[in-house]
């Protein structure tokens, strides 16, 4: 016999214990049920309930409203098959034996005080108690505010206890997850920032510890105009000292380096040396200016935990010896070098910057800036942004090209994962299967390696939605999402995992959940062009096309060697504004790079429809069906559609049907 499952954290959700959703006719019906549920078994006088929710009405009207709402409530709860409400004379209560309540579960778990039982608390607390239930009457609002404070306090205290336990027992990954959960609840919890810094330091993640301090400081200054306290600054100083000792004491070999045997050795992260800028003069003041600008750029780059940035003392001393960029790169074992010049012309500073691939000697990009003292920091920000965007694209493409030439027998877990990623980007049925085999092998070798789980789930999901594997269908999509979520469990600050989670949630129709995941990826890696791009995709999925177009163009500007999916996402965002000629150019550019990319073919089709080119649209449909004969309009809506914008999905379906793509026999294309 079904019972009632009620979730009041993060809003209101009521289901039978069999999982069927219950429908309620009014918000006050929900509010009444919630109030009774958090006092299970307690009897309430009808007058007090009437005043709680209808206090601004007369007594007679309030009691009449209560009677009617109780009728609505019994009707809404009827599918559970149980009589939850207990009425006797003038009293009303709810039978606790028929109810499963998230609030009650949290209260039971926190009452025990045993850290071993506190793990579920963070998952149960999906948000504030009864979010969006304000403005239902003064007395109800007073009760609601008090309950929110009480329950948030319970949850926060429990998670602090759990965090302290994980710190004391050296369970770093779990501690990091709980500290991040505390900061999701309240970003002003300085103790959680501090704990994260300590945990990162224990794992050797000095850059992450320093970055967390900056997040803490910026949050406190913005919200309460306060600096971090002395204890937090002490941990920060420890992290700075550890970073300095590490930078000065170690030489690392990265993507340009080779092992003693001469075999190419892959990096664990991109590496760069920033040289002091040339001044073309012997002016001591200008030399200080040049070194100061370079040092500021080094500082900003060092905040990004995914980069290895050589310390200023190492790079500046070698430049003083008269060594060129390639010689410095060889000496420091880095792949990329930033060099440039600065000249003063009156009140203006004329700055040039070039990012050099030290192995080939080629310039990856070069920029000139005419700036002033007032705009020097924005100029530095722009240089840093372009460096980061390039290092997350150009370098990874070079690494992937290198590793694809190597036999699998020579590959370890990291290399298998990168090989799988490289094949994923080729976006075709055969490449996806080869990627899947590499990644399955990687997780077998090391089940604790988060990127392998991430890419495996990602590859399988793409194969599912584009019908590239006979042994995978939509019943396997939740399993693919589970693999990505496992990656996040193993590494809660893996920004790329949130990219993937956002995309896969869109495949599953969860547009808002996708948007949240995409925003988290940008929070963790704001300089990564891919993070910006996947956020743009999530924004387009909920109909925010102007923002999506702007963010996609920003990502493209950061990634001059962009792969084909950048063109796909641009065409998808432009579609929301009927820019059919531009959509066609972007889709064609995508298909030139990756001829088998189904998503680009879909937007090539609708661009022809939008421009009235019916013959071209039919040819594009034929090309799509030649590659994937079973592909339908329904499949297009799932793989490239807009799960948070029903009108856009209807319009996309109409254009594809007009072009001659089969409709499919699954869910209606109007969804």
Tell me whether strands 91-94 and 85-88 are parallel, antiparallel or unpaired: antiparallel
- State the number of CA atoms in the 13 A half-sphere of 141 facing the CB: 9
pLDDT for 135: 64
Q: What is the CATH number of domain 1-186?
A: 1.10.10.10
Q: Where are the domains of the chain?
A: 1-186, 271-370, 565-671
**Token pair in block for residue 351:** 């700055």
Element (H, E) at 666: none
- Asked whether 140 and 53 are in contact (CB, 8 A), the reply is yes
Distance CA 89, CA 198 (A): 59
Which conformational region is residue 616 in: left (phi greater than 0), alpha (psi within -120 to 50 degrees), or beta? Answer: alpha
Cα–Cα dist 518/548, whole Å: 12
CA–CA distance, 585 with 578 (Å, rounded to integer): 13
Rounded distance between C-alpha atoms, residue 595 and residue 592, angstroms: 6
CATH number for 565-671 (one of 3.30.70.1450, 3.40.50.1100, 1.25.40.10, 1.10.10.10): it is: 1.25.40.10
Sheet holding 44-45, edge to edge: 44-45, 91-94, 85-88
pLDDT for 380: 63
Predicted confidence at residue 653, as pLDDT, reads 93
Q: How far is CA 327 from CA 245, 321, 598, in A?
A: 24, 11, 45
- Helix (H) / strand (E) element for 80: namely none
**Alpha-carbon span 59 to 36, nearest angstrom:** 20
SS3 state at 628: coil
What is the rounded (10 degree) CA torsion for 576, 582, 583, 585? -170
Instruction: Answer whether 230's CB lies under 8 Å from 322's CB.
Output: no
| Residues whose CB is less than 8 angstroms from the CB of residue 248 and which lie 6 or more positions away in sequence, other chains included | 311, 313, 314
First CA to last CA distance, the chain: 33
Q: How far apart are CA 241 and CA 206, in angstroms?
A: 9
The tokens for 573 are: 């965002």
* Of 311, 335, 310, 331, residue with least CA distance to 321: 331
Helix (H) / strand (E) containing 404: none
Alpha helices in 270-412 (DSSP H): 284-302, 312-320, 325-332, 376-391, 394-403
Of residues 149, 308, 303, the one with CA closest to residue 218: 303
pLDDT < 50 stretches in the chain: 1, 247-268, 394-395, 398-411, 666-671
CA dist., res. 186 & res. 234, Å (int) = 22
DSSP for 196-255, written as a single string: HHHHHHHTT-HHHHHHHHHHHHHHHHHHHS----HHHHHHHHHHHHHHHHHHHH-----T
The answer to whether 1-186 and 565-671 have equal CATH topology is no
CB 14 within 8 A of CB 4: yes
Exposed/middle/buried for residue 214 (C-beta within 10 Å: 0-12, 13-18, 19+): exposed
Residue 492, SS3 per DSSP:
coil
Tokens of 611: 């421009």
How many CB atoms are located within 10 Å of the residue 317 CB? 13
Which of these, 500, 508, 430, lies nearest to 469 by C-alpha position? Answer: 430
Residues in the chain: 671
- pLDDT number for residue 386: 64
Cβ atoms of 472 and 460 closer than 8 Å: yes
Three-state DSSP state, 438: helix
Helix (H, G, I), strand (E, B), or coil: what is residue 309? strand
pLDDT of residue 155: 93
For 104-115, b where at least 16 C-beta lie within 10 A, e where not — what string?
Answer: bebeebbeeeeb
C-beta separation of 508 from 481 below 8 A: yes
Q: Which tokens go with 599?
A: 């998503």
Structure confidence by residue, pLDDT tens digits, 179-194: 988 998 899 999 999 9
Tokens of 360: 């080939």
Between the alpha carbon of residue 13 and those of residues 9, 152, 334, 636, the distances in Å are 9, 19, 54, 31
Q: In sequence order, what E strands does 334-452 have?
A: 336-345, 348-357, 363-371
Tokens of 635: 């499949």
Collect all residues with Cβ–Cβ distance below 8 Å to 476 and sequence separation of at least 6: 460, 464
The pLDDT score that the predictor gives to residue 239 is 82
pLDDT in tens, 102-155: 999 999 999 877 787 888 898 889 888 988 787 667 888 899 999 999 999 999
Residue among 358, 384, 383, 389 nearest 368 (CA): 383
> 407-443: per-residue pLDDT in tens?
444 446 656 776 777 677 666 777 788 888 888 888 8
The CATH number, out of the four listed (3.40.50.970, 3.40.50.2020, 3.40.50.10610, 2.60.40.10), of the domain defined by the range 271-370: 3.40.50.10610
Q: Residue written as tokens 């969804």?
A: 671
CA distance 58 to 65: 10
Measured CA to CA, the distance from residue 318 to residue 332 in angstroms comes to 9
- Give the CA distances from residue 213 to residues 162, 173, 194, 238, in Å, rounded to whole numbers and listed in that order: 22, 19, 8, 11
Q: What is the pLDDT of residue 373?
A: 54
Q: Which residues contact 296 (CB under 8 A, 6 or more apart)?
A: 377, 380
Q: How many CA atoms lie within 13 A of 346 on its CB side?
A: 3
List all residues 6 or more positions away from 206 whose beta carbon is below 8 Å from its beta carbon.
200, 239, 242, 243, 246
DSSP 3-state of 420: helix
> Residue 277 has what DSSP assignment?
P
């Amino acid at each position: 016999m079904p019972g009632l499952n009620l979730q009041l954290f993060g809003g209101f959700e009521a289901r039978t214990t069999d999982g069927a959703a219950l429908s309620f006719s009014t918000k006050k019906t929900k509010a009444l049920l919630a109030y009774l549920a958090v006092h299970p078994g307690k009897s309430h006088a009808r007058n007090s309930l009437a005043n709680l929710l209808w206090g601004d009405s007369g007594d007679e009207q309030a009691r009449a409203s209560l009677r009617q709402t109780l009728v609505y409530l019994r009707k809404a709860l009827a599918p559970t098959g149980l009589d939850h409400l207990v009425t006797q004379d003038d009293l009303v209560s709810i039978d606790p034996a028929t109810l499963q309540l998230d609030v009650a579960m949290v209260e039971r778990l926190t009452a025990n005080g045993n850290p071993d039982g506190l793990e579920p608390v963070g998952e149960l607390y999906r948000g504030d108690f009864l979010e969006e239930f304000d403005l239902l009457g003064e007395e109800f609002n007073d009760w609601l505010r008090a309950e929110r404070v009480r329950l948030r306090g319970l949850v926060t205290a429990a998670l602090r206890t759990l965090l302290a336990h994980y710190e004391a027992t050296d369970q770093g990954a779990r501690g990091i997850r709980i500290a991040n959960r505390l900061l999701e609840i309240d970003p002003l919890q300085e103790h959680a920032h501090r704990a994260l810094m300590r945990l990162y330091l224990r794992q050797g993640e000095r850059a992450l510890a320093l970055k967390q301090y900056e997040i803490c400081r910026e949050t406190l200054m913005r919200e309460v105009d306060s600096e971090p306290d002395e204890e937090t600054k002490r941990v920060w100083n420890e992290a700075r000292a550890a970073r300095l000792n590490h930078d000065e004491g170690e030489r690392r070999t990265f993507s340009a380096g080779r092992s003693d045997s001469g075999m190419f050795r892959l990096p664990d992260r991109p590496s760069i040396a920033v040289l002091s800028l040339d001044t073309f003069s012997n002016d001591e003041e200008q030399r200080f200016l040049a070194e100061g600008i370079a040092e500021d750029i080094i500082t900003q780059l060092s905040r990004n935990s995914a980069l290895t940035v050589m310390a200023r003392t190492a790079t500046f001393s070698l430049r003083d010896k008269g060594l060129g960029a390639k010689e410095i790169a060889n000496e420091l074992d880095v792949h990329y070098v930033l060099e440039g010049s600065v000249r003063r012309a009156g009140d203006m500073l004329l700055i040039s910057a070039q990012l050099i691939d030290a192995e080939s000697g080629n310039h990856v990009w070069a920029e000139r800036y005419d700036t002033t003292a007032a705009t020097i920091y924005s100029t530095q920000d722009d240089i840093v942004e372009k460096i980061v965007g390039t290092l997350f694209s150009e370098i990874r493409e070079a690494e992937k090209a290198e590793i694809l030439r190597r036999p699998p027998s020579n590959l370890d877990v990291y290399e298998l994962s990168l090989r799988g990623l490289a094949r994923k980007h080729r976006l075709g049925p055969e490449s996806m299967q080869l990627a899947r085999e590499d990644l399955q092998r990687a997780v077998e070798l090391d089940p604790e390696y988060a990127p392998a789980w991430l890419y495996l789930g990602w590859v399988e999901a793409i194969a599912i939605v584009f019908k590239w594997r006979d042994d995978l269908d939509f019943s396997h999509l939740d399993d693919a999402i589970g693999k990505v979520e496992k990656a996040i469990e193993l590494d809660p600050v893996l920004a790329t995992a949130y990219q993937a989670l956002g995309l896969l949630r869109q495949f599953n129709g969860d547009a808002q959940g996708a948007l949240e995941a995409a925003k988290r990826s940008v929070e963790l890696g704001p300089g990564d062009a891919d993070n910006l791009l996947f956020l743009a995709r999530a924004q387009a999925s909920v109909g925010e096309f102007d923002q999506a177009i702007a963010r996609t163009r920003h990502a493209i500007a950061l990634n001059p060697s962009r792969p084909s999916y950048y063109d796909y996402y641009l065409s998808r965002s432009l579609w929301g504004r009927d820019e059919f000629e531009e959509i066609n150019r972007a889709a064609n550019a995508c298909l030139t790079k990756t001829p088998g990319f189904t998503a680009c073919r879909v937007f090539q089709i609708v661009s022809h429809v939008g421009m009235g080119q019916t013959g071209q649209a039919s040819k594009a449909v034929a090309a799509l069906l030649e590659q994937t004969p079973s592909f339908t309009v329904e499949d297009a809506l799932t793989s490239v559609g807009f799960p948070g914008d029903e009108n856009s999905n209807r319009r996309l379906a109409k254009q594809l049907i007009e072009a001659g793509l089969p409709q499919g026999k699954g869910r209606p294309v109007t969804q």
